Structure 1
Amino acid sequence: MNLGRYIRRTAAHQPDAEAVVCGPVRLTYAELDDLSNRLATALRGLGLIRGDRVATLAANRAELVVTEVALYKAGLARAPINARLGATEVAHMLRESDARVLLTDAAHLETARVAAPGTAVKTVLGYDGPSELGPGYAETLDGTAAEPVEVDCAPDDAAVLHFTSGSTGKLKAAVQTYGNRLALLRKSVMSADTRIGPGCRQILAGPVTHASGMPLMGIFFAGGCAIVLPRWDAEEFLATVERERATHAFVVPTMVNTVLALPSARDHDLSSLRQLVYGAAPMSPQRIREAWELFGPVLSQGYGCGETTSGVLFLSTEDHRRAIEGEDEELLLSCGRPLAEAEVRIVDDAGAPVADGEIGEIVVRGPDVVPGYHNEPDLTAETFRDGWFHTGDLARRRSDGYVFIVDRKKDMIISGGFNIYAVEVESVLHQHPDVFEAAVVGVPDERWGEAVKAVVVPRDGAALDEAGLIEFCAERLARMKKPRSVDLVTALPHNPNGKIDRRAIRERYWAGAERRVH
């Protein structure tokens, strides 16, 4: 098998159609096929063979897309590194991946200079030109013939070492195989809710090295165009939808929040949008309704992770409509039903399925679930049991198959012997019209062991007070679940993938505590 052949096929069918747009760079399918052939040939000329690792460290740019396609063609494994990470974390990822080649941009040359020594990296290719670390990307491609490259791979060959964002405190790599990536391509075109076709134009708003890049091969397989934002900017996102006549987009809830906060949001023509998929974190029903009002009836939601090679649960646009129009309002709290080939269960601590309505852990199996973690046999054995991936997410299932996430196992607060789910309290806080963003954590409490703490960012110009927010929650939750205290802040910490970093928030309150619950 070889995933790169689909680019070659689409290039033969529509060579002049746009494949990639990123800032000022616009690549046709013929150009994407040509450039990826040249890069694949150049990498093989460096002595790389099937299965060797290649790392990337750069902000969003068209060359990252070319690199991904080239690695598929050459049968190599990609180790994408989030561009926001520091030199220590980058060095760890280079060592863990055994990458022999690193492609980086000018902004990260100093990080590469610090991180690469002592690793397996032998060649550093500079996307912005040659440097003292190695040759330039363009110069290398200009001196390489564009012969077709198609290395045959086995389904269990590593395609991507997908490093987590480190929210658990340790960077680990889920080994996405070529079989997993082919399953990702299949599920992107199997459903009318996720499929695009020739002429469709999808905005990828986050780092294409991670979740935002998951749709790429499905777009190219179908003959659409990937519009990659160089960086996130809410105003530029809306301008890009209007200018490029984008039909599809993938965003995270934090991005939606920043768009909704723009006074000028309604000044843009968003009528070309057919689907706006959000995922990677929960979004409150109030925000979903506001987004529906702004963007129109185009919202859908995906739930998945690196270990499941993108989404495995999906809440469709029709599901959103039913909820917003009052037919089934509870659906706004759901992350959907199983998508494509994934099999999803809710199980107890022994791995046995729980009854509908009871809380258990989400487990997943299927062709898109990775075989394990790179160089982590103990963690793999703990997380992948009896063929099932244990997500660590607590949820309940409705009798018609809709899944409702309650919390992360590690984020559950135990106060006075009661289990309190941070997500449930956060969803109530987000119903308050003056709350822009909120996070709930457990903090030390001599009487209760843990107490519920809300950390809240007010909307611009809003006047919030602690007592009022606590009473707002008390009116909508069991009183034991209401926050015992509220801290008002100007911003919440986010991890490199844009999710609120609960671990960092919790650390502020547990630093120096004699006993830690988590």
Structure 2
Amino acid sequence: MPHTMIPDELPAEPAAELTPAQVFALFPPHGDTLPSLLASRAAVMPDAEAVLFQSRSWTYHLMSEAVETLAAALVERGIRAGDPVAHVAPNSDVAVLLFLALARVGAVFVPLNPALTDDELHYQLQHSQAVAAYAPQSLCARVEQIAARCACPARVAPLEPFGLDAADSAAALACIAGESPTSPAPLPMPSPDHPAVVIYTSGTTGFPKGVVHSQRTVVWSAEVFVGRLRLQPRERMLTVFPLFHVNALFYSFAGALACGGTFITAAKFSASTFWQTAADTGATQLNILAALGTILGLRPRSEFNPAHRIRKIYGGPISADMFRLFRQEFGVPLLIEGYGMSEIPSTCSNPYEGPHKIGSIGRAGVHPRFDGPFAQLRVVDDDGRDVAAGETGELLVKTPTMFVAYLNDPQQTADAFRDGWFATGDLVRMDTDGYFYFVARKKDIIRKRGENISGAELDAVLGRHPDLAEAATIAVPSELGEDDILAVLVARDGAAPTHEAVIDWCRAHMAAIKVPRYLVFADALPKTPTQRVTKHLLKKDAALIARARDMEAAPAAMR
């Protein structure tokens, strides 16, 4: 990915870092919609780079023109306000143009993972009731076959006429213009409460839910992210995450728009070329998840390019080892750990000004444009009573960035709330300074001999074994009632750990009750697109469980 320099004629960044309020004051007020946010930024810095994808660089002015032209083309193709429109493709600049153009029309962007199986993709197309689906020409035949199985099949169309294969942004704009009417009718502006996007959850516990967000919740989440990382005008924000995930769409892309920065992406993530890409594009900010940090930490240091300019990282969980890795080895001075879900983006984070508490997901989120509290957080027991500081309970949240509803599922929407508070299903604790700490998913709790054991805690301990790349623990039935513990292990490349060596490690680093009874080696762990382990698939894998070795059995009886 070539580096595109900021035009020389633009004023230099101020020597002093701007506060979020000062950043927002650079631009005219907007109307809490995506089109008005784009127009506000384009009015002040039309020639600044807004999006970089491969060889295509879009200024704010050019992107604004493309969005208006593409919106007219979509209307010409029959798209109307409120229509769900699917995007089944890897990341690209055309993807974000489509997102903004649909927002301009008042339609709903439904980004879907092209790597889904046919049945999974059919479920999401059927459930979303998409009226149209855009995909690369190479995927259109497959998407058409899948859409044909839906009760109301989506119209499938290629992305190439919108410039997907164009040599540069000017050529892409020419493609879009060729699809647009010569004298389009003026479009009414959408309202902040118009649904803007449906994000399908990762589906770690079954069928994914369609999380509906409004234009306002996307814009406000982006502005919270500006405050969270003290983003500056023309920050260069690199994402390696897919645009069907809140992290990439709300934080990286919309966050870049909110601060007047540059959004940088690629069609797919390459670990081997990551640091060279970061250096070539001049990226200054990156979002990570634990898996990404682990992957980069395991790569040969010969791939590292010290000329990179990344100075700010947001993500989680960020362990002490990961802090050390990125600060000392990779030269990134600021890492901010936070927490959110598809339903409740921008919930909490460690404050930019500090103190930064390693292992904490931080304090309740604030919005730079509003005085006083923004997100509200509670920790409650099973009866809904608030627990004392230091005690573990379920996290409940109220926030203005709350999702609108689960798509076409009023019962699940209602069930997600307790007296107006969103029930996250996550167990946390809060210290006396108001910092929160993630403990485990409620459904990742293993009940053994009357004790609650966190699967995430066991995964982390096993993951520190020098010969293991990663591990996942699940509950399996015990003949004594309740649960026993099974650990699925993935060895590091070139390593050959034995069952006995792993169990010895567990006994040295865990309380006896936490030591897994069963061990099994696997080539890889099943994961969501955002690299979360899908433990429900491990629990369903009868062959995997049958291969597991019972470490409490006599040697002759071991499988």
After TM superposition, is the score higher than 0.5?
Answer: yes
1:380-401 Cα offsets, whole Å, 9 max, x none, are: 1111221111111111111111
Q: Is 1:433 paired with 2:471?
A: no
In structure 2, what is the Cα distance between the partners aligned to 1:266 and 1:180? 39
Contact 2:340 2:348 in 1 (8 A): yes
- Give how far 1:452 is off: 1.5
Q: Which residue is 2:291 aligned to?
A: 254
Q: So what's the TM-score if we normalise by structure 1?
A: 0.88
Aligned counterparts, 1:15-26, within 5 A: 15-26=46-57
Q: Which residue is 1:213 aligned to?
A: 249
In structure 2, what is the Cα distance between the partners aligned to 1:176 and 1:78? 10
Task: Supply the RMSD in Å over aligned alpha carbons.
Answer: 2.6
Contact 2:229 2:336 in 1 (8 A): no
In structure 1, what is the Cα distance between the partners aligned to 2:476 and 2:321? 27
Q: Which residue is 1:286 aligned to?
A: 321
- Give how far 1:236 is off: 2.1
Q: Which sits farther off after the overlay, 429-438 or 374-383? A: 429-438
1:76-115 Cα offsets, whole Å, 9 max, x none, are: 1111112211222222222222221211113421331112
SS at match of 2:346: strand
Q: Which sits farther off after the overlay, 349-358 or 114-123? A: 114-123
Aligned counterparts, 1:427-466, within 5 A: 427-466=460-499
Letter in 1 for 2:350: L
In structure 2, what is the Cα distance between the partners aligned to 1:427 and 1:167? 19
1:179-207 Cα offsets, whole Å, 9 max, x none, are: 32232133123x2x423222310101110
Structure 2, unpaired ranges of 5+: 1-30, 163-171, 367-373, 547-559
Q: What is the aligned counterpart of 1:196 among 231, 256, 274?
A: 231
What percent identity do the matched residue pairs reach?
A: 31
Q: Which residue is 1:244 aligned to?
A: 281
Q: Which residue is 1:385 aligned to?
A: 418
Q: In 2 relative to 1, CA 399–343 (structure 1 residues): closer, same or farther, beyond 3 Å? A: same
In structure 2, what is the Cα distance between the partners aligned to 1:267 and 1:349? 48
Q: In 2 relative to 1, CA 403–148 (structure 1 residues): closer, same or farther, beyond 3 Å? A: farther
In structure 2, what is the Cα distance between the partners aligned to 1:300 and 1:479? 34
In structure 2, what is the Cα distance between the partners aligned to 1:151 and 1:363? 38
Contact 1:128 1:137 in 2 (8 A): no
SS at match of 1:235: coil
In structure 1, what is the Cα distance between the partners aligned to 2:323 and 2:102? 38
Q: Which residue is 2:58 aligned to?
A: 27
Contact 2:161 2:179 in 1 (8 A): no
Q: Which residue is 1:326 aligned to?
A: none
Q: In 2 relative to 1, CA 493–271 (structure 1 residues): closer, same or farther, beyond 3 Å? A: same
In structure 1, what is the Cα distance between the partners aligned to 2:304 and 2:241? 23
Q: So what's the TM-score if we normalise by structure 2?
A: 0.82
- Give how far 1:338 is off: 1.4
Q: What is the aligned counterpart of 1:335 among 343, 348, 361?
A: 361
In structure 2, what is the Cα distance between the partners aligned to 1:236 and 1:194? 25
- Computing the radius of gyration over CA atoms, which structure comes out larger, 1 or 2? 2
In structure 2, what is the Cα distance between the partners aligned to 1:87 and 1:41? 32
Q: Which sits farther off after the overlay, 363-372 or 104-113? A: 104-113
Q: Is 1:14 paired with 2:45?
A: yes
Letter in 2 for 1:169: G
Contact 1:302 1:335 in 2 (8 A): yes
Q: What is the aligned counterpart of 1:473 among 506, 514, 526?
A: 506
Q: In 2 relative to 1, CA 151–82 (structure 1 residues): closer, same or farther, beyond 3 Å? A: farther
In structure 2, what is the Cα distance between the partners aligned to 1:406 and 1:12? 45
Q: In 2 relative to 1, CA 151–440 (structure 1 residues): closer, same or farther, beyond 3 Å? A: farther
Q: In 2 relative to 1, CA 249–150 (structure 1 residues): closer, same or farther, beyond 3 Å? A: farther
Q: Is 1:411 paired with 2:448?
A: no
Letter in 1 for 2:56: V
Aligned counterparts, 1:300-315, within 5 A: 300-308=336-344, 310-315=345-350
In structure 1, what is the Cα distance between the partners aligned to 2:330 and 2:185? 42
Contact 1:160 1:177 in 2 (8 A): yes
SS at match of 2:34: coil
Q: Which residue is 1:223 aligned to?
A: 260
SS at match of 1:91: helix
Q: Which residue is 1:327 aligned to?
A: none
- Give how far 1:411 is off: 1.3
SS at match of 1:226: strand
Letter in 1 for 2:340: G
SS at match of 2:40: helix
SS at match of 1:473: helix
Q: What is the aligned counterpart of 2:211 among 174, 177, 188?
A: 174
Q: Which residue is 2:532 aligned to?
A: 499
In structure 1, what is the Cα distance between the partners aligned to 2:279 and 2:487? 37
- Give how far 1:512 is off: 9.7
Q: Which residue is 2:313 aligned to?
A: 276
Q: In 2 relative to 1, CA 146–510 (structure 1 residues): closer, same or farther, beyond 3 Å? A: farther
Q: In 2 relative to 1, CA 155–27 (structure 1 residues): closer, same or farther, beyond 3 Å? A: closer
Q: Which residue is 1:361 aligned to?
A: 394
- Give how far 1:129 is off: 4.5
Q: Which residue is 1:68 aligned to?
A: 99
In structure 1, what is the Cα distance between the partners aligned to 2:521 and 2:121? 34
- Give how far 1:275 is off: 0.6
Q: Which residue is 2:156 aligned to?
A: 124
Q: Is 1:55 paired with 2:86?
A: yes
Aligned pairs, number: 494
- Give how far 1:172 is off: 1.3
Q: Which residue is 1:133 aligned to?
A: none
SS at match of 2:523: coil
1:112-164 Cα offsets, whole Å, 9 max, x none, are: 1112223445533311349xxxxx99755424259796633334321111111
In structure 2, what is the Cα distance between the partners aligned to 1:33 and 1:342? 32
Letter in 1 for 2:36: R
Structure 1, unpaired ranges of 5+: 131-135, 324-330, 514-518
Letter in 2 for 1:491: A
Contact 2:45 2:60 in 1 (8 A): yes
- Give how far 1:373 is off: 0.9
Contact 2:234 2:259 in 1 (8 A): no
